[in-house]
Amino acid sequence: MAEFSWASRSPLEQALVTGVHGARGVEAGILLTEIRNFDLIQVMARRGKGAELAKAAKARFGMAAPDTPKAVQTKDATLIWSGPDQFLVLSKDGKYAMNTLAPAFSGLASLSDQSHARALISISGAKVRTMLAKLLSLDLHPAVFQVGAAAATSIDHTSVTLWRGADQTDGRAVFNLLVFATFAESLWHTTLDAGAEYGIDIRYSEELA
Amino acid sequence: MRIVCPFCGERELGEFTYLGDAKPQRPAADASEDAVYDYVYLRDNIAGVMSEHWYHGGGCRSWLKITRNTLTHEISTVEPAAGAGAAKVGA
Amino acid sequence: MKYSIFSLARAALSGHKNWQRTWRDATPKDRYDVVVIGGGGHGLATAWFLASEHGIRNVAVLEKGWIGSGNAGRNTTIIRSNYGLPGNTGFYELSMKLWERMEQDLNYNTMVSQRGVINLYHSDAQRDAYARRGNTMRINGIDAELLDLAAVKKMMPFLNFDNARFPVQGGLLQRRGGTARHDAVVWGYAHAASALGVDIIQNCEVTGFVRDANGKVTGVETSRGRIGAGKVGMAVAGSSSRVASMAGLRLPIESHVLQAFVSEAIKPLLPNVMTFGAGHFYVSQSDKGGLVFGGDIDGYNSYAQRGNMPVMEDVCEGGMALMPMIGRVRLLRQWGGVMDMSMDGTPIIDKTPVDGLYLNAGWCYGGFKATPGSGFVFAHLLARDESHEEAARFRLDRFRRGAAIDEKGVGAQPNLH
Amino acid sequence: MAGVQANRLANGGLIDRLVSLNFRFDGKSFSGFQGDTLASALVANGVKLVGRSFKYHRPRGILTAGSEEPNALVELRSGARCEPNTKATTAELYEGLEAASQNRWPSLRHDLMAVNQLFAPIFVAGFYYKTFMWPAKFWEAIYEPAIRRAAGLGRAAGIADPDHYDKAWAHCDVLIAGSGPAGLAAALAAGRSGARVILCEEDFALGGRLLSDGGTIDGMPAAEWISRTLTELVALPDVRIMTRTTLFGVYDGGTYGALERVNDHLPSPPEHQVRQRLWRIVAKRCVVAAGAIERPIVFAGNDTPGVMMASAMRTYVARYAATPARRIALFTNNEDGWRTVETALGAGLQVAAVVDARPDVSPAHRSLASKGGFPVLNGSVSAVDGGKDGVSKISVSLTGGARAEVEADGLAVSGGWNPAVGLTSYHRGRPKWQDNIAAFVPDGAPPGMVAVGAANGAFTLGACLSQGFAAGAQAARDAGRSGKAGSVPVAADEAFSLTPLWHVAGKGKAFVDQQHDVTASDIELAQREGFESVEHLKRYTTLGMATDQGKTSNVAGLAIMAAVTGKSIPETGTTIYRPPYVPVAIGAFAGHHRDENFHATRLTPSHHWAAEQGAIFVDTGLWKRAQWYPRAGEKDWLESVTREVKAVRSGVGFCDVSTLGKIDVHGPDAGAFLDRVYINTFSNLAVGKARYGLMLREDGMVYDDGTTSRLAEEQYFLTTTTAKAGPVMQHLEFCRQVLFPELDVQLTSVSDQWAQFSIAGPKTRDLLREIVDPAEDLSNEGFPFMGAREVALRGGIKARLFRISFSGEMAFEISVPARHGDALVRNLMQAGAPFGVTPYGTEALSVMRIEKGHVAGPELSGTTTAADLGLGKMMSTKKDFVGRVMAGREALVAADRQVVVGIKPTDKASRLRSGAHVIPKSEIPGPGNDQGYVTSVCFSPTLDQWIGLGLVERGRERIGEIVHAHDPLRGEDYDVELCNPVFYDPDGGRQRG
């Protein structure tokens, strides 16, 4: 009897072609990186348990989980607001998977594993805001959507979760996007069309930074 | 139209879907067929300020109660439905 | 004055100085046998049929603005009788037959153009639903044809057949469907009704109902004074709930905004009326050359008579998806009408619980095509106090009884119809 | 070789004479310069005749120099890029531009349709309503096609637009429409205050009327002030200047629509770039500095080529150094018109005469006239001689009754100015009349918007600057910006006087709406026939409905109506203003969303594997699903589908069912919650078990169905149909948040988290045992029918197994985390090879569900009750649930309802089709005996014949009855038998085995 391989396949595996897409200038205006292999758990507070959950979360992550549209970076996870009474825990290496988080929040929250439900895309580059203005209705002005800001919003009538990560060392902004896995390829093509005029440098990373 | 979601902030109309008048209340389990008929079918259909249910499906998935003028589309208040943000109940 | 090419030629000789008013400018009398509230197509048609079919000529049509200033002049002018449910099927066909003789009836060219209406389908399930509907039409003696892809390609080679997201597979065609000139319908009915003695009273807004001791409606209060009435009929699309509330009635109706659009005039491009089955878009080309098109309602209650951009974009996306040749054609005007959306997407023509008050409302998008039929059956109801057989299912109590006529199958949510 | 630009001045203008551009108009070659519009280049080349009118095909020339142009409309570009009705006055010249005149045949100079002019006495307003009625059949056959061919203007390409469009969002504090003095001053004030500013200008150059009229601002020439202002604005951090961008509409909540013509000034867009971009701009405040539009005076022959708006004439001379005429006359009723004379004299043109309708002309202008050697005639132009080659002679009625004639080849006309009140009126506001300028000005505006400068009726340079500046500063403050606006730019206020004059009575056609050929006498006729409300006037005569949207004609038309009805102009009122401000290409509103990108696409986890197998895909909502998997040698889909069904029924197959909606329903009250949304009970479902559930809408009709499993005490896993996944989620959130907020339950969509496959057939266990950890008990006892639990798979991952069956076979559904879906399907193929495992698509799935009598989409039509579907007994009587009460209404429980029943042709060779109607045998079909219809059909390989389900009146009581399937659409009629809908394994032994 054979053992089976259960190799993980990204929903973008087919669509993602590394290299430069669209206009070729001195520097591509957009840097598009898919990040593969991560754990993503949705934590939803139970009725009347908001305060207790907040306490438990702070104990567990060492930082308060956001209760407004923000993303906070703990030492080993990113906590992203995803709606009232709920946040996403993004981490790697099974640090915060269902089996580790469930006992910690027992009775306080309902947990749902979303690790395979989303693709994670990081977008940066000199033209990042110009391009995102074609996809998102949000105001991404640096003073309005600051580092750590998050939003539950839509692209192409499809829900996405967006947050602004820490700036790159050159000071440029980085936007992170969680999109539903079954829509990922379609949204990827939409993104490529939106960014083609600026040139897009396409990459992927096997691991969450 | 722009709607200020109490959770997400000001958002574009396209993120929301509309249900209708928020005034009719679902009758209790022992209510008469007439009462339920009234709830399901009859509407004041106000030309002016009315209270409405909207869903922020393209955002945080909260149901909202919005006061809006049907003559001008002006929105005066937006508040979460009773069960949106219920983790804070009693807190 | 009878209208014809000969009268036109004669008038030309005198520099067109001798034309009379198209309808008399009436001042209200104290009392009428029937007062029709609403000087749109339905109200004027009702008055004309009261006079011409039932001999009731002591009739007033009260219009708060100028005739045709509501939805009669804000629609996309489509006529068709391609409905699938009992009640609708027969009624809309009655209306279609009245369209077919309208110009001769009224001595007015309303430009009824039976250029064909095609509903495109893009899936087997849609084809099956159209087959069901088309067969219903045929069983009711209405023309219908189910076209396959080849037939659609032949008829409309300009559609996107090559790289469409939802490829066209065929269509349900009603050749007798088409368009008519909406304003002319209003003016034609006004012209003909006025000639039979109907008083058309513009700038006369109804502000209340006069009731006797038993609660029976005996007249209306208006901005031009009290007017007595044997019976009062309401045909006030866009204001049905507001007017009904003056008599203490709540209706199973919500008012929504439906936008419509017209492009710049171009030389003939589209042969017929088309609806896209995979998006919200329908279109025809007016005789003047503009593409007249629309889509879904904005989806929220509104009396503002204007809509917002998401729907405008949605409609144009549908248009480009279906026929990418219109990319460089320019949208010239957008406007919005107030749709009285009923709880099942089907109109209400009935007596009301208030004695003496009759209701014609809830036309959703179907109002224009229904104009002659609506006038015909409403006149019948007003004249005889009983529903015409083709409107017998349009009763107000059908919601209470569970006998909704729900073509779309979406239930008591008006913005989904 | 392009001809010489005979009418180009030797110097001056804002054109770049170093960049010469060749272009063609009606096949003839010309040249112009960078900075020209097509219109200015035609003027420079002496071209006067540019188009034919809509109805009478009268020769027409260029009337204006902007987006209000009614006459100079061309088909720009060729082939698939042909743009009909393009205004030559706004089309930028580029190398190789091709344009053709419209609405003429065979040529512009010799247009045979000009014969229409002979019938002009009959073709008056609304003539078509009075004729073409007899015989009735002739309308579609003869009259209408002729009218349609004659109407319309340019020809659309007729083939797909090859260019790309996109749409974008922008956000700002202060949005400014127009870059004339008022707009630039507003931008300065707002920008200096620290506001985020977007300035939209429809022209390719900034400056508005300053570009043509000049002036002195802050002591410097206008051009220098513009240049300094731009330098300052560009240096501000949050000021964005968008040229070639028209703000066309204002929507709710401070949302504005704008069109950017990104690459219309080039022959075609560069690679990867769009032609145009639609902007949705969200602004806290909007300053409308859109200027004003000069209006004509209506007189006989006013449509002769060479008659031009006075401001346009000086624009051509001053901005483009192009002379519309050598010897010009001016007809004005106001001070501003005289500027054209000053400009003309400055450019060395001859001035033949000024006809001024005002009682007094200023001494300065009188002395200008005597210096220039031309007469000032007090009176009105009553007629124009000339034809398609332009004006030759002008007749003047002098005040006092005498007549005069003036020889000239160009006539500049100024009837005053109308503020551009469109944007301020689009929320159904009505502008108000202002007597001193005899024009409508904004009376309020949509929330957050203010009009300034000429758009607000302030026509002097000083007032434009001060109003614009003040509004810009205020808008910034309103948006919460507190920086210093600095000092206001200053200019003198010119004198302005005007004596209203709308129409000069006289013989001959006097045009109000030049594009639609509406004359002053048409308006009089409309009034005579009772069409005196302005909306009736517009609709009856088509006044103002042309591509220029009545920008030059509307106010003149209603002024004439006012005169004939004896009312004042404000009493007569305006029509409703409707967006867009200028016509916008439909392609721009669609943007990226066309062709394959019309809607997003959803792909299942096994999609790429299925594509490798050569699967045929079907669109199901946004999904692409494998419909069947053809194999070499199979002649049609039916052969493939039949093979797939047989393989499942005799062996094992699998199908990707990941498209089902999947929802985690968690929390202490999860069971109680499900009890309220389903008609049946879930709170008593045992952990490790699944149950079929049915939910209703509140009106009592069936909404959706699916299987829901209890995975833990407080954890349910709910599935929906593919079609209703989104709506059911929304409905459940409504129930949770609005109807039953007291329940402690949490919902999340996990549709994308799980790759889910149905594995079905008698060898299902054999296959599963290959991939499931051998420690898991898959026996009937260890994993009974409707069991649901997590299992380990060989090789280390966990899966969920549900023993549920849609096919009627022994079956499981298996879920794995979605990124393992591709591996799962490949492993199933590998492990199943010995058992002949067969992937099957949605067709085979559908065949098997019909054989099994399961209802699906066609039966869940939104008009069926649980009882109609044969599921009435599921409705609990022990609890409340959504839809319970309304489901009991009399018509919904009537005995004669159409209910689900099986249907099969009596002739086994006969095909059954969905949509056929059911008529009692031997009756003639009619509305009275139409008893139902066929909802779903398939060819059943198991029964070797076509079978189906239908909704038939009293169907369940009529099992065994032979009825008639009537399908007139397809010309088919045949007998069918009503039968038990469960065609296959009615006692269910196979799925429980």
Whether A178 and A146 map to the same domain: the answer is yes
Whether A159 and A82 map to the same domain: the answer is no
Give every CB contact of residue D52 below 8 A, 6+ residues apart in sequence.
D58, D59, D60, D101, D102, D103, D104, D108, D111, D113, D114
Please list the residues that pair with D937 across neighbouring strands: D948
How far is CA A12 from each of CA A35, C85, D179, D597, D615, rounded to the nearest angstrom?
10, 46, 46, 17, 20
Chains touching chain A at 3 or more Cβ pairs under 8 angstroms? B, D
Give every CB contact of residue D881 below 8 A, 6+ residues apart in sequence.
D675, D676, D677, D678, D679, D696
**Residue C218 pLDDT exceeds 60:** yes
Residue D123 is classified by DSSP as S
CA dihedral C237, C239, C243, C248 (to 10 degrees): 100
Strands D350-356 and D417-419 turn out to be unpaired
**Residue C97 pLDDT exceeds 50:** yes
Instruction: Please count the other Cβ atoms lying within 10 Å of the Cβ belonging to residue D932.
Output: 24
Q: Do domains D165-292+420-478 and D309-408 have the same CATH topology?
A: yes
Tens digit of each residue's pLDDT (9 = 90 or more) over D389-421: 999 999 999 999 999 999 999 999 999 999 999
Whether A73 and A164 map to the same domain: the answer is no
Whether A126 and A199 map to the same domain: the answer is yes
Which of D563, D287, D604, D580 has the alpha carbon at shortest distance from D448?
D287
Mean predicted confidence (pLDDT) in C119-134 = 97
Instruction: Please count the other Cβ atoms lying within 10 Å of the Cβ belonging to residue C159.
Output: 21
Sequence ranges of the domains in chain D: 1-162, 165-292+420-478, 309-408, 502-567, 602-658+754-848, 661-749, 849-992
| Domain D502-567 CATH assignment equals 1.10.10 | yes
Enumerate residues 336 to 395 of chain C having a beta carbon within 8 A of any beta carbon in chain D: none
How far is it, in rounded angstroms, from Cα C184 to Cα C142?
26
Helix axes D338-346, D310-318, angle to 10 degrees: 20
E-strand ranges in D588-721 read 602-603, 616-620, 623-628, 653-656, 661-666, 689-696, 702-712, 715-720
CB-CB under 8 Å, A83 with B61: yes
CATH code for residues D309-408: 3.50.50.60
Exposure string (b/e) for C78-90, b if CB count within 10 Å is 16 or more? bbbbbbbbbbbbb
Question: 3-state DSSP call for residue C356?
Answer: coil
Q: Domain containing A191: what range?
A: 19-36+117-205
Which of C319, C334, C313 has the alpha carbon at shortest distance from C269?
C319
Enumerate residues 412 to 431 of chain D having a beta carbon within 8 A of any beta carbon in chain C: 426-428
**Residue B91 pLDDT exceeds 50:** no
CATH code for residues C22-107+182-252+344-416: 3.50.50.60
CATH number (3.40.1670.10, 3.10.129.10, 3.90.850.10, 3.50.50.60) of D165-292+420-478 reads: 3.50.50.60
Q: Is D56 exposed, middle or buried (0-12, 13-18, 19+ CB in 10 A)?
A: buried
HEC sequence for D792-825? EECCCCEEEEECCCCCCCCEEEEEEEHHHHHHHH
Q: Is D427 exposed, middle or buried (0-12, 13-18, 19+ CB in 10 A)?
A: buried
Instruction: Please compute, for residue A27, the number of CA atoms within 13 A of its CA located in the half-sphere on the CB side.
Output: 8
**Set of chain B residues whose Cβ sits within 8 Å of the Cβ of D427:** 72
Tens digit of each residue's pLDDT (9 = 90 or more) over D841-859: 999 999 999 999 999 999 9
CB-CB under 8 Å, C251 with B43: yes
Residue A19 is classified by DSSP as E
- Which class is domain B2-82? alpha beta
Question: CATH number of the domain that A23 lies in?
Answer: 3.30.1360.120
Q: Is D82 on the interface with C (CB under 8 A)?
A: yes
Which of D539, D462, D588 has the alpha carbon at shortest distance from D126?
D539
Question: 3-state DSSP call for residue D943?
Answer: coil
DSSP readout, C144-203? -EEEEHHHHHHH-TTS--SS-SS---EEEEETT-EE--HHHHHHHHHHHHHHTT-EEE-S
CB-CB under 8 Å, B58 with A84: no
Give every CB contact of residue D915 below 8 A, 6+ residues apart in sequence.
C127, C128, C129, C130, C131, C132, C133, C134, C135, D933, D934, D967, D969
CATH number (3.30.1360.120, 3.30.390.50, 1.50.10.20, 3.40.640.10) of D602-658+754-848 reads: 3.30.1360.120
CB-CB under 8 Å, B2 with D282: yes
The domain boundary residue, chosen from A113, A134, A160 = A113
Q: Is A50 on the interface with B (CB under 8 A)?
A: yes
Asked if D901 contacts D870 with a C-beta cutoff of 8 angstroms, the reply is no
How far is it, in rounded angstroms, from Cα C120 to Cα C160?
12
Q: Is B74 exposed, middle or buried (0-12, 13-18, 19+ CB in 10 A)?
A: middle
Q: Which fold has domain D1-162?
A: Ubiquitin-like (UB roll) (3.10.20)
Determine the residue of chain B that is closest to D280 in CA distance. B12
pLDDT of residue D675: 98
Question: 3-state DSSP call for residue D283?
Answer: strand
Whether A58 and A158 map to the same domain: the answer is no
Residue D298 is classified by DSSP as B
Residue C311 is classified by DSSP as H
pLDDT of residue C207: 98
* Residue C285 parent element (H or E): strand C282-285
Q: Is B39 on the interface with C (CB under 8 A)?
A: no
Which of C323, D623, D280, C153 has the alpha carbon at shortest distance from C315?
C323
Enumerate residues 73 to 132 of chain A having a beta carbon within 8 A of any beta carbon in chain B: 82-85
Q: Is D79 on the interface with C (CB under 8 A)?
A: no
Which residue has 């929220």 as its token pair? Answer: C300
**Which parts of chain D have pLDDT scores under 50?**
1-2
The domain boundary residue, chosen from A113, A142, A172 = A113
CA C13 to chain centre: 38
Please list the residues that pair with D932 across neighbouring strands: D952
How far is it, in rounded angstroms, from Cα D328 to Cα D352?
6
pLDDT of residue D152: 84
Q: Is C7 on the interface with B (CB under 8 A)?
A: no
Asked if C172 contacts C147 with a C-beta cutoff of 8 angstroms, the reply is yes
How far is CA D50 from each of CA C345, D35, D109, D157, D762, rounded to the nearest angstrom?
50, 20, 9, 20, 79
* pTM of this structure: 0.97
Question: 3-state DSSP call for residue D694?
Answer: strand
CATH code for residues C117-175+254-342: 3.30.9.10
**Residue C108 pLDDT exceeds 90:** yes
**Set of chain C residues whose Cβ sits within 8 Å of the Cβ of B14:** 310
Tens digit of each residue's pLDDT (9 = 90 or more) over C344-395: 999 999 999 999 999 999 999 889 999 999 999 999 999 999 999 999 999 9
Which residue has 């009837």 as its token pair? Answer: D415
Take residue C233 and report the two structure tokens written for it.
């009929």
Provide the residue count of chain C.
417
Take residue C38 and report the two structure tokens written for it.
């609403």
pLDDT-derived band at B90 (thresholds 50, 70, 90) equals low
**Which parts of chain A have pLDDT scores under 70?**
1-2
Asked if D280 contacts B13 with a C-beta cutoff of 8 angstroms, the reply is no
The phi and psi torsions of D879 (rounded to 5 degrees) equal -155, 165
Asked if D452 contacts D291 with a C-beta cutoff of 8 angstroms, the reply is no
Which of D654, D673, D373, D948 has the alpha carbon at shortest distance from A47?
D673
pLDDT of residue A2: 62
The domain boundary residue, chosen from A89, A113, A137 = A113
Strands D197-200 and D165-177 turn out to be parallel
Sequence ranges of the domains in chain C: 22-107+182-252+344-416, 117-175+254-342
Q: Could you say which of D166, D600, D668 has the minimum Cβ distance to residue A157?
A: D600
- Chosen from D281, D698, D738, D880 to mutate, greatest number of chain B CBs within 10 A: D738
Q: Is A154 on the interface with B (CB under 8 A)?
A: yes
Q: Is D600 on the interface with C (CB under 8 A)?
A: no
Strand ordering across the sheet containing A30-35: A19-21, A200-205, A30-35, A118-124, A174-180, A158-164, A150-155
In this structure, is the dihedral angle defined by the CA atoms of residues B78, B82, B85 and B90, taken in order, positive or negative?
positive
Which residue has 């438990």 as its token pair? Answer: A56
How far is it, in rounded angstroms, from Cα D174 to Cα D286?
5
Asked if D631 contacts D643 with a C-beta cutoff of 8 angstroms, the reply is yes
Tens digit of each residue's pLDDT (9 = 90 or more) over D24-63: 999 999 999 999 999 999 999 999 999 998 889 999 999 9
CATH code for residues D661-749: 3.30.70.1400
Sequence ranges of the domains in chain B: 2-82
How far is it, in rounded angstroms, from Cα D210 to Cα D356?
25
Instruction: Please count the other Cβ atoms lying within 10 Å of the Cβ belonging to residue D115.
Output: 10
Q: Which fold has domain D849-992?
A: Gyrase A; domain 2 (3.30.1360)
